[in-house]
Amino acid sequence: MGAAAAGAVLTVFTLSAPGGRRKPEPLRPLSYTGASGDDPWWRVLAVAMFPSTYGVALLTAIALAFNNVLAAFLSGVMLGMGAVVYGFRIRT
């Protein structure tokens, strides 16, 4: 439980920190091919979730076989990402 809480707190802190979500200019892609407002809801959701959410979920599934503490920490990371999204949704 402590590892999950630590993962959630660190993720919320990292994602909520000012300037933490901006990429430096050289790292920004030249053209963005993500979902637009005209796409169906499932496409917008899939583009928003990939790769971070899928990657953490996959790493959590792998960690379950090897290390329960790491799996709990990664579950906390997922909870933290969800909490940040929920917080931003409430604020807007």
pLDDT digits (tens, 9 = 90+) for 19-49: 655 555 555 555 655 666 677 777 777 776 6
- When pLDDT is cut at 50, 70 and 90, the band that residue 71 belongs to is very high
Q: In terms of pLDDT, which residue wins out, 36 or 3?
A: 3
Assessment of whether the complete model's pTM goes beyond 0.75:
no
Domain ranges of the chain: 1-13+51-92
Query: If you average pLDDT over residues 5-20, what whole number do you get?
Result: 79
56 contacts 64 by C-beta, under 8 angstroms: no
Determine phi and psi for 24, rounding to 5 degrees.
-60, 150
Query: What is the DSSP annotation of 4-70?
Result: HHHHHHHHHHHHHSTTTTPPPGGGS-SS-----TTS-HHHHHHHHHTTHHHHHHHHHHHHHHH-HHH
